[in-house]
Structure 1
Amino acid sequence: MKNYLKLPVMLLVLFSACKDAKKRKDKAEGVAVVKLKTHDQQLLALKDTAQAKLHIFLDSLKPHALDSNYRFLVKSDFEEGSSHEHMWSVVYKYAGGKFTGIFADSAVYLKNIKMGDHVLINQKDVEDWAIYDYKRNTDMGNFSDKYLRSKQGK
């Protein structure tokens, strides 16, 4: 019976992620892509913060992974040739040091990935994470957001 419930919940997560990503894309049409140096020290420090606090994310993901009141996202580097984009995926499972999820962002330069694609992300590759709790209207993580917003248009 439990397996019968997983598919509808996973479809709900996918639909919700894609719908939110489309809204973000529609709103962000005029927003410039933030380009940073490969070894931006501030961004690397924020990744270290995200990695150091990843246990908080994992502790919440375990009991709530398929709960529609929560959304769990991780940011990681996607690459194609020499191009890199750091983007978000909704994750719903963690096992063997890997997150299983659905790509929920809009690639600008990369053509090998599109919204809704299945992804596996190594724990060590997580650059940021976010938890949205819709029941309590709270969020956690998303350490790089403020910094990246300060760099837009520069």
Structure 2
Amino acid sequence: MDAKLKQESPPDPARKNAMGLLARATLDELNAAWAALADKPEVHPVRGPETGLVMVRGRIGGGGDPFNLGEATVSRATIRLSTGEIGHGQLLGTDKERARLAAIFDALSQRDGNRTEVEALLGRVAERLSKEERRKAEETAATRVDFFTMVRGDD
């Protein structure tokens, strides 16, 4: 193996969860968190923000042969803070500003000084998503129909 190749470290589950929440955060939530940040670091773009397509693959029954399901529009951005942290943001859709802000908060989550603000943002996003899922489950339950079979006697 070439000594120049960098060994990849295993993914950090906490960061993976945070990036998932940042991808589902609204633009208003991200803008409000950025505006509330007292000590804003300088942000330098590394890549994007840009919008493109990715191929979505599926498997029949979850374990069959893979097939191309179709394409999905995604936006992504990579930034570097003036303090050296690099952040990535990826999300479905065409909102480049959301991708850029998600990348900024990903980088901020790696700084000890901003971890509290980022965790507060992630908590608000998780709470909103939980409420939306609960509301959707209640709406679905309200339209649920229970079917039963009646057994008729011999006439």
Same-fold call, TM cutoff 0.5: no
Structure (1/2) with the larger helix percentage: 2
Report the TM-score, using the length of structure 1 for normalisation.
0.30
Report the TM-score, using the length of structure 2 for normalisation.
0.30
Structure with max Cα Rg: 2
Higher relative contact order (CA 8 A, sep 6+): 1
